[in-house]
Amino acid sequence: MKLTRVGVDLAKHVFQVHGVDRAERPVWCKRLKRGRWIAELERDVEPGAEIGMEACGSAHHWGRLLQSKGYRVKLIAPQFVKPYVKSNKTDANDAEAICEAMSRPSMRFVGVKTVEQQDLQAVHRVRSSLIRERTAKANQLRGLVYEYGLVAPREISSLRRAVPQWLEDAENGLTGRFRLLLAGLYRDLKQLDERVRELDQEVAAITREHEPVRRLMQINGVGPLIASALYALVGDARQYRNGRDLAVALGLTPRQHSSGGKEKLLGISKRGDKYVRTLLIHGARSALRTAPSRTDRISRWALALAERSHPNVAVTALANKTARVAWAMLRHGANYEPERVAA
């Protein structure tokens, strides 16, 4: 029994495997316990075989482990596996679907992340969660003081200055009980500020440690946050054939609706990583705002596009361009050369 391809349906405690031989016959279909599945796989599957998994929780961990043992690992986004599921959804059918999907020549695969990429991605996820918590806390504070006739400022920096003033003002109608509650909310807000600040410092430290991240910061509109998030997502960008593929994966290209030989382009697809796409859009907006003070080719192109179309169109196009440039820099280890970028 020589297995050439194995699909693995990951779970917390029991893994389902579906292996086929050179003749595409299913010859290794079983459920394996978490603590034993690697040992049984090494016993029955020779190094060099392809092992496929959905790109879900723990997939990158198992992918690195299997690569270290000589297997060729292929991770597939769950939405690309679903069309191959036959009949009802079961672990066995899912493993078979993964095994079938990974054999398709046109299938798009996800690169296995390094430990450093996952560390960096974890920092970004925690920071993003804290930002959401801080925004929710600030909105809660605004809503509560409004019930007492106080209008809170919109900017969070102004809100931080306003709260101590409300607490010190004895004539604003706030009760003693509410003042205690407001002081507690203010402490919560400051604690969240401190946690975000700590993670910003962590991102800055990681940026200094990784040369690819520092190179990405040469692009206009790309700072430590965007550069590190991009690197955490794509690594050396080897899994993408070109810059357009990366832009497509980030949802920065138009959706198409074509029928009867007529092509119609719609808004951007917004598929892929929403967090990184949002950062790129914010960075492009900043770059467009400062473009009049620069004379490089990309800035001139962005300004011309903004003049003949809506500024948001120019921002999205510039974010798309940034993703393509980032792919070239990561893939080839190159520095940013704006005059060589196609406008």
> Chain-centre distance of CA 100, in angstroms?
27
Query: Would you put residue 261 in left (φ > 0), alpha (ψ -120 to 50) or beta?
Result: left
User: CA 248, CA 188: separation in Å to the nearest integer?
Assistant: 40
Predicted confidence (pLDDT) per residue in 33-44, tens digit = 999 999 999 999
φ and ψ at residue 165, rounded to 5 degrees: -65, -40
> Considering 209, 242, 257, which residue would you say is the last residue of a domain?
209
Q: Which two tokens stand for residue 84?
A: 């191959």
Predicted confidence (pLDDT) per residue in 226-259, tens digit = 999 999 999 999 989 999 999 999 999 988 877 7
User: CA 318, CA 160: separation in Å to the nearest integer?
Assistant: 34
pLDDT band at 343 (very low <50, low <70, confident <90, very high): low
Identity of the residue numbered 83: P
Q: What is the CATH number of the domain that holds 43?
A: 3.30.420.10
Nearest one of 130, 137, 133 to 200, comparing CA atoms: 130
Q: Which two tokens stand for residue 145?
A: 């003081």
Co-location of 72 and 97 in the same domain? yes
| Single pTM value for the model | 0.88
Co-location of 12 and 130 in the same domain? no
Predicted confidence (pLDDT) per residue in 281-312, tens digit = 999 999 999 999 998 889 999 999 999 999 99
Predicted confidence (pLDDT) per residue in 333-342, tens digit = 999 988 777 6
Predicted confidence (pLDDT) per residue in 1-14, tens digit = 689 999 999 999 99
> Considering 110, 141, 158, which residue would you say is the last residue of a domain?
110
Q: Which domain holds residue 323?
A: 212-340
Co-location of 225 and 336 in the same domain? yes
Mean pLDDT of 165-181: 94
Co-location of 105 and 180 in the same domain? no
φ and ψ at residue 262, rounded to 5 degrees: -100, 125
Q: Of all residues in the chain, what percent are helix, strand and coil, respectively (each to 5)?
A: 55, 15, 30
> Considering 193, 209, 225, which residue would you say is the last residue of a domain?
209
